[in-house]
Structure 1
Amino acid sequence: MPGSRRLAATADLTLGPVVAVAVAVFGTALAERLPIPAGSNVALALTASGGAVVAALLAAAVWTARPVIAVPLTWAGLAAIPAVPLSLFLANTPHYLFGVSGDQQFRVQFLTRFADSARLADFAYADLPPYYPAAWFWVGGRAAALAGVDAWEFHKVFSIATLAVTAVLAYALWALVTTRRRALGAAVATTLAGLATLAAYTPYSWLTGALVPPLAVLGLRLVRRTGSWLRTAVLVGLVLGLAAVTHTQILIFAGFVLTVLAADGLLTRWTRPVPLLVTVGVVLAAALPLTLVHWLPYLLASAGEPTYSAGQHFLAESGSRWPLPMLEATALGGLCLAGTVWIVARFGRSTVARALGVTVACGYAWYLLSTLALTAGTTLLAFRIEPVIAAALASGAVGAAAEVVHRFRTNVPGSDGGAGRPTPTPDPRARPRGERDRRRNPTAAVVTVLAAVAVVAQVQTVPETYEWAGAAQDYRPDGTKPDGSRDPGDANAWLGELRATIDGLTGRAPREVVVASANQTLLTYTPYFSWQASSAQYANPLANYPARTDELRRWTTAAGPAQLLGALEGSPARAPSVFVFSRTPDGLLQLPTTEDRFPDPDSGAPAATFAPQLFDDPAWQRRDVGPYAVLVRVPGPPVP
């Protein structure tokens, strides 16, 4: 790699993310200050116009000949593609998409854990190392603590900033395997594909999922030993290491793609076993340090211990049918259709087309394998791969556009390289050749305009795409809604009183308390440890979710207060010192339970019902808070 390209790559990977974060923070802050009436079309109008501004910014980056101007414009434009529509869409809520409901509940809980302490810990369970990759949550939690912002509120800007950084990183990797202008096009296509396929709902998955297509091109070059072999191997390993600590499924899928490319290299005799093994060794060595940071504590703790994993016991509708974005009547559909044609046509002659084709083929193979896995009572969560498939196909459209421009330039009389006249001798005082080519080639202008239209078209669909997860009006930790209202009839209106009661009775920091709660939102906003995660799909396998539920139910059968205290003392896991029960009309105390019945979507189960007499002991203090009864064991054993 020449020195200038090495310097540019370094800037893309270091300064680019900084610019992206700045764009996301500025965009979010500006959107929150704009007068956007809730329920009006003002946000949609601003989103559409904002998309046009972003498209103009990117077009300026393409047509500007001076790198010192073009490169920052590229970073800022790419970051603005997700930052502008999402900031405007969420302008009337302090929450991110879907608030603290569904999957966001455990994500905010994870951020809250690390905003409270830098110690590597599970988001829910005391005394357990995390199973779900924690790097994104750790960085977000520590950044929230540094900024002095509550984790639940920081979730929005951190997620948008992650999407902005991802767009720049995708560009950085693409710039290593193609020209910078084509890299910009591929990064734009990738980012639009991510927005259209709901990747914004899981930004830490998209952080490395968006990198799989260019990573596949780098992998194919590794197999063929082209370019800077050692640096490429190390970079591929670092990306895999990043996936290992942010999203395990993307790591496995990326490994699957690279394995298929390696097998392809052996079958086509582009490589031999020994050089290939050396390459694999370098990649694994580069990936291992990051991987071990997260996984070594879990692997050591799980040695010889019973585990129960239900994380893949989920079959989403989008994971039940194969994604065919190339058949959709949208801007992204047009990109994917063009990309499909180009990938198929150039599969045998272009390294990029071959790598993208293998990525797409592996994506569909993943869907097939996920369907087959149903026979074993599990899935491969195929819906997580849909954004990667769309990104690979959309990136192929850049190759198609570049080929159209090239053919026009070489075949049309009067253009450079055509038959109309010989190419004149370069004038050193003239404009750079690339700029002269673009200005004299109307096809390049047409492609630029069409690309800008695609950006505007796709950006302005964000409010419709994410309508289901839009401006959440969930209660805040103090028990009020974003507009300041509070309905005592809502369970979460008592969040502030619940925390004040628990903290007052225990006299301990929240991180030193284990709570069994009928209100999971309380555990999302406050860094208490939980006796049980809200569902088996989120639970750490080391917690053995079914066994904990069974133990909770056994406590309900205690003959009296002394037997209940004895059962709590004898619990193999740290027992709760605080219970937050729902009160029934007849005075009984209840905790909800769930069961893993995959593939049955019904996870409901009978509540664990306690007689209030079980807590008639000086060891317990009771306070009723709204619909809840708070039972605190005093003094309760603290979490170390």
Structure 2
Amino acid sequence: MTTNDDVRPGRRIAVGVGEGAAAAVVALVVAAVGLFAFSVVQWPAFNSSNVTRALTTVGQVVAVALLVVAVLLIRLGKWPLVAKLASWIGISSFVTVTLGMPLAATKLYLFGVSVDQEFRTEYLTRLTDSPALRDMTYVDLPPFYPAGWFWIGGRVGDLLGMAGWEVFKPYAIAMLAIAAAIALVLWTQLVRADLAVGAAAAVTAMTVAYASPEAYGAVLVVFIPPVLILAWGALHRTSGGWGAVLGTGLFLGVAACFYTLYLAIAAFTVVLMAVVAAGVAVARRRAERKPRVGRPRGDEVSAAPWRAAIAPLVKLAVIGAIAGVLALVVWAPYLLEMLAGAKLPSGNAFHYLPESGAELAFPMLEFSLRGALCLLGVLWLVVRAGSSRRAQALGIGVVAVYLWTLLSMAVTAIGTTLLSFRLEPVLLALLAAAGVFGFVEGAGMVYRVLNESAPVRTASTVLAVLGAVAYAQHIPTVLTHEIDTAYTDTVPTTEPDADGTYGERADKRKPSAVAYYHPVDEAILAETGRPRDETVVLTADTSFLSFYPYFGFQALTSHYANPLADFKGRADTIAAWSEAESSGALLDAMAESPWRAPDAFLFRRDADTYTLRLAEDVYPNDPNVRRYTVAFPRSLFTDPAFTTTDIGPFTLVTVRR
């Protein structure tokens, strides 16, 4: 027989999933319409005009107004469908306008194709070219970096007929808008609807400001606060809560497919929650076993106290199993390669320790709007730690971030880190959510103390709205460097400009050497006769691989290289090739390489040599990368097997086999 208690959770989950799907569709439409509208106008560059900044502020005000309308309708209990639509449109339009309008005059996303964004663009280009799970750089290797976000983006680019680098911006913005809307729906399943809108908006604003450059991680950050509340609700309950267990496992599985570090901190926090829940359950069971005055003899709980820990630990195991199965979607090829006897990994992904990773972050002590909201959050977490499960969940999340940071600092003693500096957006998201709850409860206390509900409510609402708008319009300032880079980086074109080069910068200034990438691409195709995805290119100008899906012989740095690729071994091999005694000796050495040798070399010219500017890991130094030059004498390429072509500042050498 089915009871109401059995039906209600299932129905609630079904309603939540349905609303999440609807919110995703609404957000997709909002993002698509907004980005298309931004693209049809010839805007001035953001770094040379305040026009797009002004229009960004206008759009943000409209988005905040929609969210305020949604909250007012919810509080009044009127037009619930309109309130939901207003909240979904408001939060997705906030993301779209805050990122899309400042980038409206460029085809590139935040950070352009520079630094870390170079290898991310390369990955998206690879998976746009083919849905096969392949390493971003190296041929015949499974991917090490989680492919989830990039694989979906690749399918979007393929569907729209866009190159990977070109679809990056609209896809990143739309994906974050969709994630923010779905996260809002999740919040409504966990807290009062008006609080849900406020918490989701605050978390989204922090995410856009501090996590959006890592677009594939930002879509997880907006979910971490509500998911931790969901997880704590499951683990802290003595029975039931299996829907929350399923939801937590699904999130961790998706995180494993998207971003390993955020999976690690989320999983670490959930494990910490399970340990705390088990400890609390055991302590409660022990208390129940003690005789008390007024309790009839024999009324005490007879089960051993340790048995109370079984329920949360079983739920933790189920969460882990669900996450593990999902993780295999992208991790299976890499794990199978390892099991097949691949050479031990040689990656240096954790070898980075900037100053921000060597100290604890205390945003709540800053004199700023961000600091004020975080301080409110900390005060609320402390005051409500004993009575609110929301505060307990978010508080454990904050403690987990600080513990991870301390652990990251500690392991520097053994020559590595845990990249804790990248957890600042997670900390800010948790404190922002807590800050909203603290503000609402604090305002409620003032209402009761002053006994003037209406004026105080109005004043607190006005204060909240003013703070939201002030913070929102500051976000482009926070992202100034990232936006500027999107305008100063060069993208290749298929048609020459007035100077005969094939490249352009969004700020209309002289393009970089990227302007010669298109002729280089055409020359490689013509001279090798192979498709791009069957050609290996050795070059130090690795952004070439971000625009065209060739495989590389060597990655940008060891930190982004597949651990199975043997970055150092390849670097030593390149150096040995440069010291070959003749063309024939070079060809023989290439033939004996343990890896597939290059089909083409893309060099820079320098006097009588062709040069590659490569990188090596010098951790624990900061910067952690040292650049060095490998020079190949031109005489090494006189054999008829080599074809040499000068293109702008480059020399292309193709190999006939």
Preserved contact between residue 239 and residue 311 of structure 2 (Cα < 8 Å)? no
Tell me how far 1:228 sits from its aligned partner: 5.3
Please state if 1:606 is matched with 2:628. yes
1:67-146 matches, within 5 Å, as 67-146=80-159
State the SS of the aligned residue for 1:379.
coil
TM-score by length of 1: 0.90
Give the match for residue 19 of structure 1.
26
Residue aligned with 2:403, SS = helix
Q: CA deviation at 1:408?
A: 6.1
Residue 324 of structure 1, aligned match among 362, 366, 374: 362
The 3-state SS of whatever aligns with 2:492 is coil
Mapping of 1:221-620 within 5 angstroms?
221-225=233-237, 229-269=241-281, 272-303=308-339, 304=341, 305-404=343-442, 406-407=444-445, 441-471=454-484, 472-478=487-493, 479-482=502-505, 487=510, 490-585=512-607, 587-600=608-621, 601=623, 603-620=625-642
Distance 1:93 1:602 in 2: 31
Residue of structure 1 equivalent to 2:161: 148
**Match for residue 176 of structure 1 among 171, 186, 189:** 189
Inter-CA distance 485–57: structure 2 relative to 1 (3 Å threshold): closer
User: How far apart in 2 are the matches of 1:297 and 1:326?
Assistant: 43
8 A Cα contact 2:537 2:553, kept in partner: yes
* Secondary structure class of the residue paired with 1:380: coil
Contact 2:405–2:420 under 8 Å retained in 1 = yes
Deviation at 1:4, TM superposition (A): 6.8
Give 1:410 shift: 6.4
> Post-superposition shift, 1:319?
2.5
For the structure 1 residues 377 and 613, does the alpha-carbon distance in structure 2 shift closer, same or farther, using more than 3 Å as the test?
same
CA distance in 2, matches of 1:354, 1:484: 49
What is the DSSP-based 3-state SS (H/G/I as helix, E as strand, rest coil) of the residue aligned with 1:574? Answer: coil
Structure 2 Cα separation of the partners of residues 288 and 265 of structure 1: 22
Distance 1:537 1:485 in 2: 33
Task: Answer yes or no: is the 8 Å Cα contact 1:51–1:455 preserved in 2.
Answer: no
Query: Identity of paired residues, percent?
Result: 37
Distance 1:450 1:268 in 2: 39
Question: SS at the partner of 1:182?
Answer: helix
Structure 2 vs 1, CA of residues 609 and 482 (structure 1 numbering), >3 Å: closer, same or farther? closer
Contact 1:583 1:627 in 2 (8 A): yes
After superposition, what is the alpha-carbon deviation per residue over 1:287-324, rounded to whole angstroms, capped at 9, x for unaligned? 12220111121112123422111111112343333222
Residues of 2 paired with 1:137 and 1:377: CA distance? Answer: 31
- Structure 2 matches for 1:203-214, cutoff 5 A? 203-214=215-226
Q: Could you tell me which amino acid in structure 2 is paired with residue 52 of structure 1?
A: V
Shift of 1:158: 1.0
Contact 1:47 1:459 in 2 (8 A): no
Structure 1 7/62 Cα, relative in aligned 2: closer, same or farther at 3 Å? farther
- SS of residue in 2 equivalent to 1:595: strand
Q: What is the CA-CA distance between 1:286 and the residue it aligns to?
A: 1.8
d(CA) in 2 for partners of 1:121, 1:213: 32
- Which shifted more, 570-579 or 20-29? 20-29
Amino acid in the other structure paired with 2:614: T
Counterparts of 1:605 and 1:77, CA distance in 2:
46
Aligned to 1:425: none
| Paired residue type of 2:620 | P
Q: Aligned partners of 2:377 and 2:628: how far apart in 1?
A: 51
Say which is worse superposed, 331-340 or 602-611, in terms of deviation: 602-611
State the distance in 2 between where 1:325 and 1:8 align.
37
The gaps in structure 1 that reach 5 residues or longer are 416-440, 636-640
Q: CA deviation at 1:209?
A: 2.4
Quote the offset at 1:485 in angstroms. Answer: 6.1
Q: Output one character per residue of 1:44-71: Cα deviation in whole Å (capped at 9) or x when no partner.
A: 2222222211111001111122221111
Output the TM-score relative to the length of structure 2: 0.88
How far is 1:166 from its partner?
2.4
Q: Do the aligned partners of 2:9 and 2:243 also contact (CA within 8 Å) in 1? A: no
Residue type of the alignment partner of 1:23: V
**What is the distance in 2 between the residues matched to 1:412 and 1:226?**
40
**How many angstroms apart in 2 are the aligned matches of 1:405 and 1:607?**
62
Relative distance call for 1:484 and 1:224 in structure 2 (3 A) is closer
Instruction: Give 1:237 deviation, angstroms.
Output: 0.3
